[in-house]
Structure 1
Amino acid sequence: MPKFEKDGVEISFLDEGEGDPILLIHGFASNKSINWEYPGWVDLLVKDGRRVIALDNRGHGESSKFYDPEAYGAPVMAEDAFRLLNHLDLQSVDVMGYSMGARISAFLTLNHADRVNRVIFGGLGYGMISGVGDPEPIASALEAERLQDVTDRTGRAFRAFAEQTKSDRLSLAACMRSSRQKISVDDISRITRPVLVAVGTNDDIAGSPQRLADLMLDARVLDIPGRDHMVAVGDKVYKKGVLEFLHGEME
C-alpha cells in the first residue's frame, strides 16, 4: 500500500479506481482493509465508477503509532485526511466515515468545507454531540494482560476486535484516552453539505440518527434494520442507501 509522510506522521492509504473520488475513514480499532475492503465497499464503489481512497488513521493499521494521547483526537486526525487530499491533489471529494471515522469526517467537513461534496456519517448519530460514554473501560481493556481479565462488556468487545485486527493495543488505548472533542450543536448546524446519517437500528452506541440529522440543513437518515454497531458496516441496506445518496436519488 502507498504511504505519505507529513510532519513526522506516516499515513498508509489505498487508491483504486477512476472517476469521482470518495474518501473512506474507518472506525476505532479498525483499519482500511477491515472496514472497507473486506466488507466489499471498495469493490462496490469502484464498480460504481468511483475513485476510492481509504486511509489508515494514525495509531491504526500500517500508519504511524503514537503512545501519547495528545497525538490523537478527531480534529488532529481530520488534518491527516486533509493532508492526504493535498498529497493526491484532490480538490473536492465525497467522504464516508464510520463511528470514529464519522466524527473525523465531521471535523474535516467543518474545517475544510470547500473540499467536501457529500458526507456520510455511518455508525454515529447524536453521540457525535453528546459523546458515546466513558473511554476508560475501553482503554483499560486494551491494556489488560488477557482478554479473559476484561469484565466490562463494551471494553471486552473492543479488546476482542483489536485482537482480531492484530492492532497495536497500546496505541489504541492512547487514542481512546485522547481529548475526545465533542462537536457542539452550533458547529454541526454549520454543515450545509448534503449529509446521510446511517445507523443500525440495534446500535446502542451511536445515539439517535434523526436527532443528529435534524440539526443540519440538508441531512437525511438511513436506518440499517436489525444491525448493531459492530456489524452494520457491511450491510446491503447500508450499501444500497449510500449509492442512492451519492447518485442524488435519496429524498
Structure 2
Amino acid sequence: MSDLRTETFTSFDGTELALHRHGEGPPFVLLHGLFSSVEMNWIKWGHHLAIAARGYEVLMLDFRVHGDSAAPHEPEKYPKNVLVRDVAALVEHLGLGDYDLGGFSLGARTTLHAVAHGVLEPQRIVVGGMGTAGLGEWDKRAAFFRRVIDEFDAIPKGDPAYFSMQFLKSQGVDRTAARLLLDTMPDLDLALLDRVTMPALVVCGDEDRDNGSAEELAGLLPNADFVEVPGTHMSSVTKPDIGLAIAEWLGDPA
C-alpha cells in the first residue's frame, strides 16, 4: 500500500486546493467537517488507513479556507455552493468515472447537495455526522458560526460559543475567508433527497444531535443504511469506530 501523499490542483476559479491521497484501488473521495481539515478528521485518527486497507484509494480534499488549501479574501471567490463546485472540479481534475463519495458534517452536507442537485453521480455515498436539521435548517447553524467569528475575542468562558471559538483558533482558521464561506451554504430542500437513489451509509455518533436526527435522514434517503457509533459530534470522529464502520460498509471492491 502506498504512503500518504499530498498534491495541489487548481479549482474552477483558480483557487489552489490541497488533495491528500492514500492507498490503491477504486477511488473514494472523502470530505471533512466545517473549520476542520483532512488532518484533523481523517488522518490523525487513522480512518484513512482503515478504509485504504479494504482496497481503496482514499482521496481527501481540504476544502477552501481549510487545512492546506487557499483561503482567498475576494468575495467573488465565494459563489453559492462553492464547495460543491470544488468537489466537482476535483472529480474532473482526476478524471474520475466510477467512484464513491462521502464526508463528515460539512463534508456530508456537501455530498448530499452535490448529488441532490445532480452535480455529481457517485456510485455510493457516506453521510457522517449529519441529520435533517443540518440540511433543512442549516442557516440557523451558520448563524451560530457567524457569531463566533464576529464576536471572536469577546466570547466569555461558559458561553456556548466559547468552545467553537477555541476550536477555530486551534485550527488557525482565516476568519475573513471563513465569514465569506458561511454565506455560500444554502439550506437543502429535504424533498430533493428523493433524488439520492444510490446506496448510502448514514453514520452518526450515538450522542450526536448537533445536526438533528441522522436516523430520520436515513429514512428519507431511498436506499440508506443507518449505523450508530460511539460519541458526540466532536468526539465520534476521534474514535476508531467511524472509520471502521465506513470501511466495513464499503466492503471489498468488486
Choose the corresponding residue for 1:186, options 185, 191, 209. Answer: 191
Separation in structure 1 between the aligned mates of residue 55 and residue 64 of structure 2, nearest angstrom: 28
Tell me which residue corresponds to 1:224: 229
1:203 paired to 2:208: yes
Tell me which residue corresponds to 2:144: 137
Tell me which residue corresponds to 1:55: 61
Task: List gaps (5 residues or longer) in structure 1.
Answer: none
Tell me which residue corresponds to 2:247: 243
TM-aligned CA deviation for residue 120 of structure 1: 0.8
SS in 1 for 2:58: strand
Question: 1:74·1:103 contact (CA, 8 Å) conserved in 2?
Answer: no
SS in 2 for 1:108: helix
TM-aligned CA deviation for residue 131 of structure 1: 1.8
SS in 2 for 1:58: coil
Give the stretch that moved more between structures: 167-176 or 23-32.
167-176
Cα distance change on mapping 1:210 and 1:130 into 2, 3 Å: same
Give the stretch that moved more between structures: 68-77 or 233-242.
68-77
State the one-letter code of the partner of 1:102: A
Question: 2:51·2:243 contact (CA, 8 Å) conserved in 1?
Answer: no
RMSD (Å) for aligned C-alpha atoms: 2.3
Which deviations, in whole Å up to 9, do the C-alpha atoms of 1:200-240 show, x marking residues without a partner? 12113121112111112101211123x11111113233223
Question: 1:69·1:175 contact (CA, 8 Å) conserved in 2?
Answer: no
Separation in structure 2 between the aligned mates of residue 237 and residue 42 of structure 1, nearest angstrom: 12
Choose the corresponding residue for 1:3, options 3, 8, 12. Answer: 8
Cα distance change on mapping 1:92 and 1:194 into 2, 3 Å: same
Question: 2:109·2:135 contact (CA, 8 Å) conserved in 1?
Answer: no
State the one-letter code of the partner of 1:105: T
State the one-letter code of the partner of 2:235: V
Question: 1:105·1:121 contact (CA, 8 Å) conserved in 2?
Answer: yes
**TM-score with structure 2 length normalisation?**
0.87
Give the stretch that moved more between structures: 67-76 or 33-42.
67-76
**TM-score with structure 1 length normalisation?**
0.88
Q: How many residue pairs are counted as aligned between the two chains?
A: 245
1:76 paired to 2:82: yes
SS in 2 for 1:54: strand
Task: List gaps (5 residues or longer) in structure 2.
Answer: 1-5
Question: 2:50·2:247 contact (CA, 8 Å) conserved in 1?
Answer: no
1:164 paired to 2:167: no
